[in-house]
Structure 1
Amino acid sequence: MGEQHGSIFEIPMNNQDSQTHAYSTLTTEWTKKTADLFRASRNRDKILLLLIVLQFICLSVAVASIVHFYEPHGSKGVKGSPGDLGAIMEKSARQEGQIQQLTKNISDLSSAHRQFDLLVKTVGCEVGWEMFMNSCYYFELESVKTWKDAKIDCHSKGGYLVKIDNAVENCFLKSYLQNDNVWIGATDNEQESNFVWESDNTSLTFTDWNPNEPNNAAPGEDCASMGKRWDYRWNDWACSLLFSYICEKHSELG
């Protein structure tokens, strides 16, 4: 039989490391799968728009077919027997029914277009912003600024440096990131080790700090970022460094 241990603290260290590694592996896989789901969800609006365009094309083809079918063949008056007249009247009635149905379909299409337009205006975001939950996010990944200048730029766009409320939002943000470091809105400028969100000066209720962070290892490490080196866990840095950044603002729905 294997060696018995009186308590969990007597378990060999290599077993504890193995358990920690297994937990870390499961957490990493969950994060990757959730990120894939977020990326897939961004295709919903494109699919909806494509369906509307396809419906419009089908209706256009129907219009062209009915117009061609209804067009009189020749300019002379119609002559023939009473039976021919009855067939013409029956054909005309069918065409009238088709036109009425077509008119209804066009009306339905117009209504669907208005609803889609309203949806975009209500819950959508401006060009360049990404929608998630009740917020819009602007990923400034092409240029870099100090934390303060990044905050100013977000404010000029009508938002603020991103405030991360929970693990789901945190994972959504990670799915977009490729840069080494990205500023977020947490800072302890006012009181050391008391990080607050610059958007509303509230304390952090969710955090994803890298182990042993924040540590204020160097003078002025008062601003938080997400770092690629640590799988985009959070770290405190000197606010004067130049990083990319994420802006956030509430959508109309929010």
Structure 2
Amino acid sequence: MVDVQTSDAVRTKSASLAPLLSVQNLEAWYGESHILHGVDFDVKAGEVVTLLGRNGAGKTTTLKAVMGIIGKRSGSVRFEEREIIRTSSDRIARMGIAFCPEERGIFASLDVRENLLLPPAVRNGGLSLDQIFELFPNLRERLASQGTKLSGGEQQMLAIGRILRTGARFLMLDEPTEGLAPVIIQQIGHTIKRLKNEGFTILLVEQNFRFAATVADRYYIVEHGRIIDGFANAELQSNMDKLHTYLGV
């Protein structure tokens, strides 16, 4: 694995700097449907920030709008203090933002090795195959298997491993634990913690707040296309009543 940086030092240093990602008054549409209504949040370098909310709240749309996948959007999205709201998704990827979608996007006609090698490197410092196999040993064992013949957990490992090869240091993960067995969820959690300790910054969409509580530094609550609340992980217990109301759990 790459040399481990001290996560506390990364976050202490970032606290005095401008956010790595700053989103202000973000609006987005699917055709004539107005989905995001002025979303505001930020992510500092070295953090894991989680967007929580019910199905249809606008969490995935927020990630896609940041990535430039949604054509009609307005407001401000600043990455490394550079405005990217008018930037195409391919150029955003080359800036070092990687998006791992909920549906994973595994290519059925390619084996595991080919899926891992497909995305181009966008920056120096991407993980090698050996480093990815250190995180996800299952992938080494299934190297010659077609991507869609993997289990759901193995496909999720492949989807995450694939973006780690690119050199991107800002990762957006959409529902990485959905439908997975508890042992795989635990492995995904260990991986996120390790990546954070190595200086990666992660924006995570989750409905499973119990999982999010094991990895997140901060939370934002999304409802009806807006951020309606936010708090740090240290404040989670004092916000549990509100969280149950927001999420309906």
Normalised by the size of structure 1, how large is the TM-score? 0.23
Structure whose residues are more often strand by fraction: 2
Structure whose residues are more often helix by fraction: 1
Of structures 1 and 2, the larger Rg is shown by 1
